[in-house]
Amino acid sequence: MRVRDGLLGVLVGAALALAVVLGPSVAGASSSRPSPSSVGSPKEDFMFQVTHVHTADQGGDTFNFYLRYRYRAGLPSARYPNFLNIRRMLLRYMAPKRTQYVEVLNTHICTRIKNHFPLQAISCQFQVYNGVDPGYRSSIVTIGNIQPLAIPAP
């Protein structure tokens, strides 16, 4: 029994030593490789702007809207949304007199656009000028994995 226990101990010890020596190189090699699906898969983004839109909001502000969005992965180009439809949705949303903060307006419409069209991510920037306060104020809302917009005011 002692010989068998000793032999078993030697085998277990050798296996552990081998695992310690080879383990980091094997684990490192396999975990550092990019997955086949992430290599070469393009990300397709689109951006447009709607500038100098005068609204009844908050006393007659003038808005600049910037939208950048990323199509869902694998979306066929035949299913890309026409940006004019997104633009119309934005302008229809902003048409009634709204007294909400620009951040709330931006969050609502950005979320609606993201949920209504086949988009993976979206970043919306609203710049507002009221003609009274010095300079523009701006709200940026980003949903999903896309770089947030940061367009400087005119």
List, run by run, the mean pLDDT of 10-residue segments along the chain (154 residues): 47 42 40 48 89 79 95 93 97 82 93 97 95 89 94 86
The pLDDT value given to residue 52: 93
Q: How far, in Å, CA of 38 to CA of 104, rounded?
A: 35
The pLDDT value given to residue 134: 84
Q: Is 99 helix (H, G, I), strand (E, B) or coil?
A: coil
Q: CB–CB of 48/87 below 8 Å?
A: yes
Q: How far, in Å, CA of 40 to CA of 4, rounded?
A: 55
The pLDDT value given to residue 39: 55
Of 113, 152, 116, residue with least CA distance to 136: 152
Q: CB–CB of 53/94 below 8 Å?
A: yes
The pLDDT value given to residue 58: 62
Q: How far, in Å, CA of 121 to CA of 143, rounded?
A: 6
Q: How far, in Å, CA of 68 to CA of 46, rounded?
A: 6
The pLDDT value given to residue 131: 82
Of 152, 141, 147, 64, residue with least CA distance to 104: 141
